[in-house]
Amino acid sequence: MFNDMKQRTTVRLPASLISRAKKKAAAEGRTLTALIEEGLWRVLAQGKRAKTKPILPRVSTATGGPMPGMESSSFSELQELDDLEYVERMKRFS
């Protein structure tokens, strides 16, 4: 059913969250990876909640770039803004 082969990935998380997670993992005598894995399994086990539509940056149909007023133009800056918005939305659920 599931492929148990381990995969490597990169995620961007707030430094304060990583710091707290590392301390918790160390206090429990396990790795940060194990802590993250457990958290993901718990979230997935909760089942589907009401779907929320992702908030995406407004894009100009004329140029395909960000709408006027968007200061960030690089993909990584836009992704970081999206990640920060996601973290704020998740705070409402905790």
What is the tens place of the pLDDT at every residue in 26-73? 999 999 999 999 998 888 887 766 566 666 666 666 665 655 555 555
In terms of pLDDT, which residue wins out, 51 or 88? 88
Residue ranges making up the domain that contains 31: 12-47
Domain co-membership, 21 together with 39: yes
Domain co-membership, 27 together with 58: no
Q: What angle do CA 39, 85, 20 make, to 5 degrees?
A: 40
Domain co-membership, 79 together with 42: no
**Does the pLDDT of residue 21 top 80, yes or no?**
yes
Mean pLDDT over residues 3-19, rounded?
85
pTM above 0.75, yes or no: no
Domain co-membership, 25 together with 57: no
**Does the pLDDT of residue 77 top 90, yes or no?**
no
Q: Is 7 inside any structural domain?
A: no
Contacts of residue 25, Cβ cutoff 8 Å, sequence gap at least 6? 31, 32, 34, 35
Crossing angle between the packed helical segments 15-27 and 32-45, to the nearest 10 degrees: 100
Could you give the number of structural domains in the chain? 2
Phi, psi for residue 26 in degrees, rounded to 5: -65, -40
Domain co-membership, 54 together with 91: yes
Domain co-membership, 20 together with 43: yes
